[in-house]
Structure 1
Amino acid sequence: MSLLDGLLGNATNVDQDAIKKELKDVLIPNEEVDLAFRLVRDLVVFTSHRLIVVDKQGVTGKKVDYKTFPYKSISRFSVETTGHFDLDAELKIWISGAVEPAQVLQFRKDNSITTIQKALATAILL
């Protein structure tokens, strides 16, 4: 996928070695990156132990928010696909005991949400 896809809100698959370098200070020893997607500047990373959502903030993107969701803490998730008039697809993630979603990710005209939901289902159900 191209840069244009990223700017339009479509997730692009990211090389796992590049993500390991980018998250070297966040990953714990022996934690492996299984799957990663870039959404403009942000990242959704599936590792051997958790889901990491990296939110780069501000104009320069120097300020970064790292959200960690251990797979065992994710109680449910929902996927809303795009429609004829609603072009946004949405993934919502709830953690145990929460009424509201802990994370909401939006995608536009994107098939990656299917891959992401399959990876999330595999991680929390198996």
Structure 2
Amino acid sequence: MGLLSAITGNAASRDAEAVGEELAPILADGERVELAFQLVRDQFVFTNARLILIDKQGLTGRKVEYQSIPYRSITRFAVETAGHFDLDAEFKLWIGSDPTPLVREIRGGENVAAIQRALATMVLGG
């Protein structure tokens, strides 16, 4: 990820194999990373079984939250942008019967569409 992308918060694709090696201790047997995006210090990781949202916290980033969301528990999702050429997007995931969505902000032009496509593919079983 380039310095400008990091500063502006744009989502950058990450090598799935490298992310898989990093996450090997928490991946289930047979689980593999299909697609990964990095947003400054946070990551969206799509495996063949779940979506893993990685949130690095604090100044040093040593504290990390790994939120695992099995695709079968995502009941719906939405992507909201301010306009066609706007790079800012807000992802909303509804999990189970919870009426309140999980919300994540992301920027990154093409990768906003790539993340939405990955969600559609994984959630809809395509």
The TM-score, its normalising length taken from structure 2, stands at: 0.91
Does residue 28 (structure 1) correspond to residue 28 (structure 2)? The answer is yes
Alignment of structure 1 residues 3-82 onto 2, 5 Å: 3-82=3-82
Deviates more, 1:15-24 or 1:64-73: 15-24
Q: Deviations over 1:12-63 (max 9, x none)?
A: 0001121012112111111010000000011100001000000000000000
Assess if the C-alpha contact under 8 Å between 1:9 and 1:106 holds in 2.
Answer: no
State the secondary structure of the residue aligned to 1:100. Answer: coil
Give the secondary-structure state (helix, strand or coil) at the position aligned to 2:55. Answer: strand
Is the Cα contact below 8 Å between 1:82 and 1:108 reproduced in 2? Answer: no
Residue 123 (structure 2) aligns with: 124
Identity of counterpart residues, as a percentage? 52
> Partners in 1 of 2:62 and 2:108 — Cα distance?
28
State the distance in 2 between where 1:71 and 1:33 align. 14
Q: Contact (CA 8 Å) 1:82, 1:89: kept in 2 or not?
A: yes
Q: Number of residues paired by the alignment? A: 125
1:105 is aligned to: 104
The answer (yes or no) to whether the contact 1:12–1:39 under 8 Å persists in 2 is yes
Q: Give the aligned CA root-mean-square deviation in angstroms.
A: 1.8
Contact residue 81 and residue 90 of structure 1 kept, 8 A: yes
Distance in 1 separating the partners of 2:109 and 2:64: 25
Task: Please give the alpha-carbon distance, in whole angstroms, between the structure 2 residues aligned to 1:45 and 1:109.
Answer: 16
Unaligned runs of 5+ in 1: none
Structure 1 CA distance, aligned partners of 2:3 and 2:43? 14
Gaps of 5+ in 2: none
Provide the C-alpha distance between the structure 1 equivalents of 2:77 and 2:31, rounded to a whole number of angstroms: 23
Would you say the 8 A contact 1:41–1:56 is kept in 2?
A: yes
